[in-house]
Amino acid sequence: MSIHKAVTLLALACWWAVAPCQAAGTNDGYAVVVSRATLDRPEWKKVVDALVAKHHGQVIVYDRLDQARAGLARLFPRYACFVATPAEATRQFVAEVHRLTRQLDDDPYTDLLWGILTGYDAANALRIARQEQPLVIRRVVAGTEVALEMCEEGAWYSELKPGRRVRKKPGQQPTAEIGATDTTQELVEALNHSQADLFVTSGHATERDWQIGFGYRNGSFRSEAGRLFGLDTRQHRYPIHSPNPKVYLAVGNCLMGHIDGPDTMALAFLNSGGVDQMVAYTVPTWYGYGGWGCLDYFVEQ
């Protein structure tokens, strides 16, 4: 069956969330929060304008992020989208947004649903902002175990057992297979050709690579200048071009959401990976519930 869930990015402690929050209706209120420096750039103003037009949102402009608090507290929207250039969307910025969104009233809890919209460049962010169709999860590709019985079709590749993969075809039960231990090319081809709606990863990662095998030697995904590519254990390179809209949950990866320059994995996933909505850590992690719990809630419940 399809997973008919509203894809609102969950921004949990020490997390990176990217893409516009999906407002259920204009009566709930939608704020677009942006720095004056970014709004003054014509190419990024188009991103803000697209969000305002789509969600009938109100714009809150700041010179320092904490200055947005008064406007957010006054409007008290249900949703807020923080538009940021890649240079602004740092780990510190993510942490400051977390704190800010808990300070609109007197209790310690988050006061709205929020996400950060950025991209490799303004054109990339504008593509995400203009996405109109709801993201309904039917096809799943994963580099770690996922509950395929909850999905129409898909495949996951084990990060722990060499060569193990599980596939599900529409109307059938998942079936396990044993194949090549280097799954780099298979994963690239799955992203490029299967029209996957959801991509899930775990295992070791840095800002510039994802190691496909956690418990054994496998290839990797890497990034360069906004482009993703696979690099197998024989050093063969496989370009990734997967433009269909998708959700990416980096549930068990360290640093996948940390943007510290133009060659980061996060920006490449948004750009050549076709990711419209993403959840990932900006810090090292070890089996944190913020990541794996998100997968549980998103897919299994």
Q: Break the chain into its structural domains and give their ranges.
A: 21-129, 139-286
**What value does the mean pLDDT take over residues 238-263?**
97
The whole-number average pLDDT for the span 220-229 is 98
User: Cβ neighbours of residue 94 under 8 Å, at least 6 residues apart?
Assistant: 11, 14, 15, 16, 17, 116, 257, 282
The residue count for the chain: 301
Task: Indicate whether 90 pLDDT > 90.
Answer: yes
Tokens of 212: 């496909």
C-alpha span between 287 and 284 (Å, rounded): 10
Residue of 280, 278, 296, 291 lying closest to 124 (CA atoms):
278
At residue 154, the pLDDT reads: 97
Per-residue pLDDT band at 15 (split at 50, 70, 90):
very low
State yes or no: pLDDT of 45 exceeds 90.
Answer: yes
Confidence of residue 8 (pLDDT cuts 50, 70, 90): very low
Q: What is the pTM of this model?
A: 0.90
Q: How far lies 279's CA from each of 14, 159, 213, 293, in Å?
A: 11, 19, 21, 12
42 DSSP assignment = H
Strands 198-203 vs 139-142: parallel, antiparallel or unpaired: parallel
pLDDT at 289: 85
Mean pLDDT lowest among 17-21, 189-193, 256-260, 297-301 = 17-21
Tell me the two tokens of residue 80. 């807020």
Mean pLDDT of 212-223: 98
Task: Calculate mean pLDDT across residues 62-86.
Answer: 98
**174 pLDDT exceeds 90?**
yes
Reply yes or no on whether the pLDDT at 187 is more than 70: yes
275-281 and 246-253 strand pairing: parallel
Does the pLDDT of residue 24 top 50, yes or no? no
Mean of pLDDT values over 48-62: 97
* Over residues 116-134, mean pLDDT: 97
Which residue has better confidence, 221 or 23?
221
Identify which has the larger pLDDT, 20 or 44: 44
The pLDDT-based confidence of 17 (bands split at 50, 70, 90) is very low
Higher-confidence residue of 24 and 152: namely: 152
The pLDDT value recorded for residue 6 is: 31
Mean pLDDT, to the nearest integer, of 68-78? 97
3-class secondary-structure state, position 14: coil
Tell whether the model's pLDDT for residue 135 goes beyond 60. yes
Domain formed by 21-129, architecture = 3-Layer(aba) Sandwich (3.40)
- CA-to-CA distance for 151 and 128, rounded, in angstroms? 24
Mean model confidence pLDDT for the chain: 91
Which of these ranges, 25-39, 151-165, 201-215, 266-280, has the smallest mean pLDDT?
Answer: 25-39
CA distances from 244 to 22, 239, 274 (A): 18, 16, 6
Report whether 68 contacts 100 (CB < 8 A): yes
Q: What distance in Å separates the CA atoms of residue 9 and residue 6, rounded to the nearest whole number?
A: 9
